[in-house]
């Protein structure tokens, strides 16, 4: 099962790209990973319009066999063990891809959260997109080491 990381952001920072790549290289030993960077919608005075536009474009990227995980501040808090258990269940659920979506500057539209198989909050703190990408990449690696019984987690 492939993993896909989708984010809406104008530009990426070299330090974050480097950190994400370190963890995703480790993840790629066990799972193929795709990275998709989508351009944020232009703000024209209405946050809802931005969220709706980004939602439409995100959902166009999804296939019926994809399982969407929306990373959103309104999501559930998961411990690493919860994340690992979710990944294990998902790999046996008939999905071809797990798509982790980091919303744009105004977050996800309700339709994304409704389409998602899970809505997860990476932190109680508000994270910028660069930090969220790093936290997600490290979290994926850590959860997969738990599944595989490797010593990274403890």
Structural domains of the chain sorted by starting position, each given as residue range(s) with its CATH number in brackets: 2-148 (3.40.1280.10)
Q: How confident is the model at residue 126 (pLDDT cuts 50, 70, 90)?
A: confident
**pTM of the predicted model as reported, rounded to 2 decimal places:** 0.94
pLDDT tens digits along 84-113: 999 999 989 889 999 999 988 899 999 999
pLDDT tens digits along 5-61: 999 988 779 999 999 999 999 999 999 999 999 999 999 999 999 999 999 999 999
CA-to-CA separations, 150 to 36, 52, 79, 145, in angstroms, rounded: 28, 41, 17, 5
């Amino acid at each position: 099962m492939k993993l896909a990381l989708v984010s809406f952001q104008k530009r990426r920072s070299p330090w974050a790209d480097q950190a994400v790549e370190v963890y995703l290289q480790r993840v790629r030993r066990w799972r193929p990973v795709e990275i998709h960077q989508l351009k944020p919608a232009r703000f024209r005075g209405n946050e809802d319009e931005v969220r709706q536009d980004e939602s439409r474009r995100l959902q166009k990227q999804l296939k019926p066999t994809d399982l969407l995980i929306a990373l959103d501040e309104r999501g559930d808090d998961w411990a690493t063990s919860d994340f690992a258990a979710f990944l294990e269940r998902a790999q046996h659920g008939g999905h071809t891809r797990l798509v982790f979506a980091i919303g744009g500057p105004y977050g996800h539209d309700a339709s994304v959260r409704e389409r998602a198989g899970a809505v997860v909050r990476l932190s109680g703190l508000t994270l910028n997109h660069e930090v969220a990408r790093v936290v997600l990449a490290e979290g994926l690696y850590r959860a997969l080491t738990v599944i595989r019984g490797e010593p990274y987690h403890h």
